[in-house]
């Protein structure tokens, strides 16, 4: 297919892409990881438009980001991505993030399922995209990232509640994946996040959230440098879990 | 100085840059206008870093966007910007937005003041940046945009209330300018915005909003296709006014 096994996109910390510390915000980084993935998928012929023609879509299920250092405002950075492995129901896409000098400053991993948009069921990737296994990169940057762990939230009261509004909703009519990251960080104390960058962020998506529905963010701290988080819908249904390590 | 009087940046409607209609979201467009302005200012030698060395900063005071058409997801688009005029206390920067075929699809205007970061007072631009008048473009794209009008909000109850959280705060410690746009659109009914794109959006910034402070969005509809909006702090202090025309 001619596309690279390892795909690279270059970015810059633009205006409003930094947080209050003037470094690249974690939510924008998450968005750029997904942009890079989308761009690679398009080059591989399995992008959103191509899959929509078959009434299929990639569904983003987990993301894990581990950063040594965040680029400063106006600094360029690059993201490399590759498909690391494929199982029957999941495609595992990895990322490496590089600073302006080409030094690796972080890694990320993500898990994607292939969904039949009519039945809303996960498809067997080996059946639906038999060539997908050939997209797995044999050579790629190092990605020494530990496995995800399970967030355990014991808090009885929510840190805060909100209802998704117009700008939170994506083309599917769901709360967009990046807003989950923003709401989880929003539940943590600003004075902590201002002093200590997030070294590791894990998020798992369980179910979709819709326009206007009441949502609540719950947070439990685990020691001094770790937070477990849940985004809950009505009836305590968990829409998403996250873990933040400072 | 060698920099162009009319500066162009090229973008694409990336993942999560579109709204629920799959077109470029107005908030992201606002962000890209400011990115383009920041990039031009940097080329002109009056960017954020250069001004910070003198303890000065551009302060964004008004934005008016008028769009005939919004680019669709993954479509490229271009923004051209130029300084249209300079008065004693304000620099007026205009924009033209073009689709993938180079057809103009919208315009925007913005007003900027130059602030002394120590005294927090507006500076006389002719004194502080005597060369700035030479940056005014003599030739530039057409920008047939009507003057701003005054939003008049009569609503007694807020459409909703919120408190700025970590991801809403910029390097100045203030609610970032793009979040105001998102919150104003968030106060309008989703079913209306889904059917009818915003043809004209005006926003004026009066005072800064901070982390955690209680804020309320008020909205009054003016006929079927126009909304006047206010973002209010405690004691009914108006932090920002906006007008949306569908």
Summarize pLDDT for B59-75 with one digit per residue, the tens: 999 999 999 999 999 99
Token readout for B35 is 């990115």
Which residue does chain B place closest to A212, by CA atoms? Answer: B190
What pLDDT does residue B82 have? 98
For residue A212, the enclosing domain spans: 160-245
What pLDDT does residue A16 have? 86
Angle at B155 between CA B149 and CA B158, to 5 degrees: 110
Total domains in the fold of chain A: 2
Burial A145-167 (b: 16+ CB within 10 A, else e): beebeebebeeeebbbebebbbb
Distance CA B212, CA B186 (A): 19
> Cβ distance B24 to B71 under 8 Å?
yes
CA dihedral B97→B38→B180→B144, nearest 10 degrees, is: -30
Q: Tell me whether residue A148 is in a domain.
A: no
What pLDDT does residue B16 have? 86
Same domain, A199 and A117: no
Taking contacts as CB-CB distances below 8 angstroms, the residues of chain A near B212 are 190
- The DSSP string of A223-240 is SSSEEEEEEE-GGG-EEE
Same domain, B46 and B110: yes
- β-pair partners for B241: B204, B230
Task: Indicate the range of A144-148, A156-160, A199-203, B151-155 predicted with least confidence.
Answer: A144-148
Can you tell me the mean pLDDT for B81-89?
A: 96
Percentage of chain A beyond pLDDT 70 is 99
Same domain, B170 and B107: no
Res A148 pLDDT > 80: no
What pLDDT does residue B171 have? 86
Can you tell me the mean pLDDT for B7-32?
A: 95
> Cβ distance A37 to A59 under 8 Å?
no
Q: Position of tokens 């058409």?
A: B69
Close Cβ partners of A4 (under 8 Å, ≥ 6 residues apart): A43
Q: Position of tokens 């005939």?
A: B68
Q: How far is CA B54 from the centre of its chain?
A: 25
Q: Tell me whether residue A183 is in a domain.
A: yes
Same domain, B97 and B40: yes
Same domain, A87 and A169: no
Beta carbons of B176 and A38 less than 8 Å apart: no
What pLDDT does residue B3 have? 78
What pLDDT does residue A171 have? 85
Q: Tell me whether residue B143 is in a domain.
A: no
Task: Indicate the range of A184-188, A196-200, B147-151 predicted with least confidence.
Answer: B147-151
Distance CA B179, CA B153 (A): 20
Res B1 pLDDT > 80: no
Token readout for A123 is 């498809």
Phi/psi at A119 (5° precision):
-85, -15
Which residue does chain A place closest to B189, by CA atoms? Answer: A166
Q: Average pLDDT, whole number, for chain A?
A: 94
Query: What's this model's pTM, rounded to 2 decimal places?
Result: 0.94
Q: For the segment B175-218, what is each residue's pLDDT rounded down to a tens digit?
A: 999 999 999 999 999 999 999 999 999 999 999 999 999 999 99
Banded pLDDT at A2 (limits 50, 70, 90): low
Q: Tell me whether residue A220 is in a domain.
A: yes
Can you tell me the mean pLDDT for A200-219?
A: 96
Close Cβ partners of A200 (under 8 Å, ≥ 6 residues apart): A64, A65, A66, A67, A243, A244, A245
Beta carbons of B16 and A170 less than 8 Å apart: yes
Same domain, A35 and A116: yes
Percentage of chain B beyond pLDDT 70 is 99
Banded pLDDT at B172 (limits 50, 70, 90): confident
Partner B contacted by A192 (CB < 8 A): no
> Cβ distance A227 to A220 under 8 Å?
yes
CA dihedral B186→B188→B189→B194, nearest 10 degrees, is: -80
Q: For the segment A88-110, what is each residue's pLDDT rounded down to a tens digit?
A: 999 999 999 999 999 999 999 99
Banded pLDDT at B227 (limits 50, 70, 90): very high
Query: What's the CATH number where B181 sits?
Result: 3.10.129.10
Same domain, A126 and A228: no
Q: Tell me whether residue A153 is in a domain.
A: no
Same domain, A166 and A131: no
Res A57 pLDDT > 90: yes
Q: Give the residue among B41, B11, B16, B43 at the shortest CA–CA distance from B27.
A: B16
What pLDDT does residue A178 have? 94
Instruction: Indicate whether this complex's ipTM tops 0.95.
Output: no
Partner A contacted by B35 (CB < 8 A): yes
Token readout for B22 is 């799959």
Same domain, A129 and A210: no
Can you tell me the mean pLDDT for A211-233?
A: 95
Q: Tell me whether residue A180 is in a domain.
A: yes
Can you tell me the mean pLDDT for A132-157?
A: 88
Taking contacts as CB-CB distances below 8 angstroms, the residues of chain A near B170 are 16, 18-20
Beta carbons of A188 and B168 less than 8 Å apart: no
Q: Tell me whether residue B149 is in a domain.
A: no
Considering CB atoms only, which of B162, B171, B211 is closest to A73?
B171
**CB contacts < 8 Å between A and B, how many?**
115
Banded pLDDT at A151 (limits 50, 70, 90): confident
Same domain, B169 and B241: yes
Can you tell me the mean pLDDT for A80-84?
A: 97
With residue B132 as reference, give the H or E element that holds it.
Answer: none
Same domain, B35 and B107: yes
What residues 38-97 of chain A have any CB closer than 8 A to a CB of chain B?
A: 38, 42, 48-49, 73-74
Token readout for A135 is 């997209």
Close Cβ partners of B103 (under 8 Å, ≥ 6 residues apart): none
Token readout for B217 is 């969005």
> Cβ distance B91 to B18 under 8 Å?
no
Instruction: Quote the minimal CA–CA distance from A140 to chain B in Å.
Output: 24
Q: Tell me whether residue A147 is in a domain.
A: no
Taking contacts as CB-CB distances below 8 angstroms, the residues of chain A near B74 are 42, 48-49
Banded pLDDT at A66 (limits 50, 70, 90): very high
Distance CA B3, CA B25 (A): 30
Same domain, A129 and A165: no
Q: What is the CA radius of gyration of chain B?
A: 18
Distance CA B182, CA B170 (A): 15
Distance CA B116, CA B114 (A): 7
What pLDDT does residue B137 have? 94
Distance CA B109, CA A190 (A): 34
Considering CB atoms only, which of A27, A165, A176 is closest to B186?
A165
Banded pLDDT at A50 (limits 50, 70, 90): very high
Distance CA B102, CA B139 (A): 18
Partner A contacted by B236 (CB < 8 A): no
Which residue does chain B place closest to A23, by CA atoms? Answer: B171
What pLDDT does residue B2 have? 61
Strands B200-205 and B56-67: antiparallel
């Amino acid at each position: 297919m001619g596309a690279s096994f390892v795909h690279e996109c270059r970015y810059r910390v633009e205006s409003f892409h930094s947080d209050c510390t003037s470094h690249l915000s974690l939510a924008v980084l998450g968005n750029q990881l997904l942009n890079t993935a989308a761009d690679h998928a398009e080059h591989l012929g399995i992008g959103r438009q191509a899959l929509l023609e078959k009434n299929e879509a990639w569904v983003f299920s987990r993301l894990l980001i581990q950063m040594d250092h965040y680029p400063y405002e106006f600094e360029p950075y690059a993201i490399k991505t590759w498909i690391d492995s494929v199982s029957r129901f999941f495609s595992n896409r990895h990322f490496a993030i590089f600073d302006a000098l080409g030094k690796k400053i972080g890694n990320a991993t993500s898990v994607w399922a292939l969904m039949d948009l009519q039945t809303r069921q996960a498809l067997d990737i080996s059946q639906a995209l038999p060539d997908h296994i050939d997209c797995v990169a044999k050579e790629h940057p190092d990605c020494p990232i530990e496995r995800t762990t399970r967030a355990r939230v014991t808090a009885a009261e929510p840190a805060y509640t909100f209802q998704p509004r117009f700008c939170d909703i994506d083309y599917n009519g769901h709360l967009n994946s990046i807003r989950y990251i923003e709401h989880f960080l929003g539940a943590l104390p600003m004075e902590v996040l201002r002093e200590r960058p997030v070294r590791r962020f894990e998020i798992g998506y369980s179910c979709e959230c819709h326009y206007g529905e009441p949502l609540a963010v719950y947070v439990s701290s685990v020691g001094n440098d770790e937070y477990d988080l849940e985004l809950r819908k009505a009836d305590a249904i968990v829409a998403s879990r996250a873990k933040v390590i400072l």
